[in-house]
Amino acid sequence: MRLTVLGCAGSFPGPEAPCSAYLVEADGFRLLVDFGPGSMTTLQRFSGLYAVDAILLSHLHCDHMLDACSYVVARRYAPEGPYPPLPVYAPVAAPERIAAAYGGENEPMAINDVYTFYALQPGSFPIGPFHVTVDRVNHPIETYGVRIEHEGRVLAYSADTAPCEALIRLAQGADAFLCEASYLDGVDNPPDLHLTGREAAEHATKAGVGKLLLTHLVPAWGSEALTLEAASAAFDGPIEIVRPGARYDI
Ligand SMILES: [Zn+2]
Ligand SMILES: [Zn+2]
């Protein structure tokens, strides 16, 4: 399978990157994991406006889902006619949240002409050619870490999370582990929200992953150099900080 990073800025868009959005492809099927603000730009630049067959939203913080609202226009009002409904796997409140963020006073609230929603709950299920497993992670709202398997290869994605056992289970033996590292080490961070570079690396080591891909750094408040240094001290394998347009064959 192939991973294309469309957006990776944590919490709000950065000067060089939209918020979280990752395109995972195999056998011609394209699964978009998270759809943060700005990532419709990079979707068009690195893939195509309609090059999406299903969407999975890890949680409903706006930095992970707002472009699912903008995308309603692109699909509903396409000059060649409306596109068929797209499957969206997301927390149960997604239809209401996306419709509320999209709709104005005189517009219909329903968006089921554009999306067919499937409520996430912990467990495994197929999406296209992928075997997907999700589990709740440690974040203030309903949030799912994700494990995506295809032909024996595994990509794990932390979503947003503080340290938790579920993340180690999801990432167990993954070939690539896309893990958030929002916070700097050595400062007083709020609990139960996010990981530092060192914590991301500790989860990678415990899960025995092949490669650690750090994401969701907050450019305005963080430091790539310090995050990488802290992560390198806790994981022996290859580590990279991802960027929009980066592609990984997994
Ligand atoms: Zn986030
Ligand atoms: Zn979040």
DSSP state of 196: B
For residue 19, which ligand has an atom nearest its CA?
1
154 - beta bridge partners? 149
| Distance of CA 11 from the midpoint of ligand 1 (Å) | 4
Is pLDDT above 90 for 109? no
Q: How far apart are the first and last CA of the chain?
A: 5
Averaged pLDDT, 204-226: 97
| Distance of CA 220 from the midpoint of ligand 2 (Å) | 17
For residue 137, which ligand has an atom nearest its CA?
2
State the CB neighbour count (10 A cutoff) for residue 218.
17
| Distance of CA 86 from the midpoint of ligand 2 (Å) | 23
For residue 141, which ligand has an atom nearest its CA?
2
For residue 193, which ligand has an atom nearest its CA?
2
108 pLDDT tier (thresholds 50, 70, 90): low
For residue 161, which ligand has an atom nearest its CA?
2
pLDDT digits (tens, 9 = 90+) for 143-158: 999 999 999 999 999 9
What H or E segment, with its residue span, contains residue 130? strand 130-136
| Distance of CA 106 from the midpoint of ligand 2 (Å) | 30
Residue carrying structure tokens 């006619």: 81
Cβ–Cβ < 8 Å for 108, 75: no
